[in-house]
Amino acid sequence: MKKIIQVHIFRGENQFVAELPRLAVVTQGKTLDELAQNLREAIALQLEGGNLADFGLADNPSILATLNLSRWRMRNLRSSPRFRAAFLTLPA
């Protein structure tokens, strides 16, 4: 059983996009804050009423987010406290 839900995040043309391959979930948001909220909701809906073991997950899994952004975007985001806070508060 996996203890980590992997999330791949990238910048689309107009929005940030998050993909969760293990859960077959894709969501997006105009800001990282909106993406984090949409991600919480998408994970909750996908797992609602289900057994984590059905998804190959152990109880209380953690979320590991991988960001794939250009160097220019990373320089701008790295200085943003909202960027850091948005992903430190994602629930398992």
Report yes or no: 4 and 63 within 8 Å, Cβ to Cβ.
Answer: yes
H or E segment to which residue 17 belongs: strand 16-20
The whole-angstrom distance between residue 79's C-alpha and the CA centroid of its chain comes to: 20
Average pLDDT on 73-79 reads 57
70, exposed or middle or buried, with CB in 10 Å at 0-12, 13-18, 19+? exposed
Give CA–CA dist 24/13, Å, rounded. 22
Report yes or no: 86 and 32 within 8 Å, Cβ to Cβ.
Answer: yes
More confident residue, 58 or 72: 58
Q: Rounded to two decimals, what is the model's pTM?
A: 0.69
Residues in a beta bridge with 19: 8, 26
Mean pLDDT, all residues of the chain? 79
What is the CB neighbour count within 10 angstroms for residue 77?
15
pLDDT at residue 79 in the model? 58
| pLDDT over 60 (residue 92) | no
Interval 18-60: pLDDT, tens: 999 888 899 999 988 899 899 989 988 988 888 888 888 888 8
| pLDDT over 70 (residue 73) | no
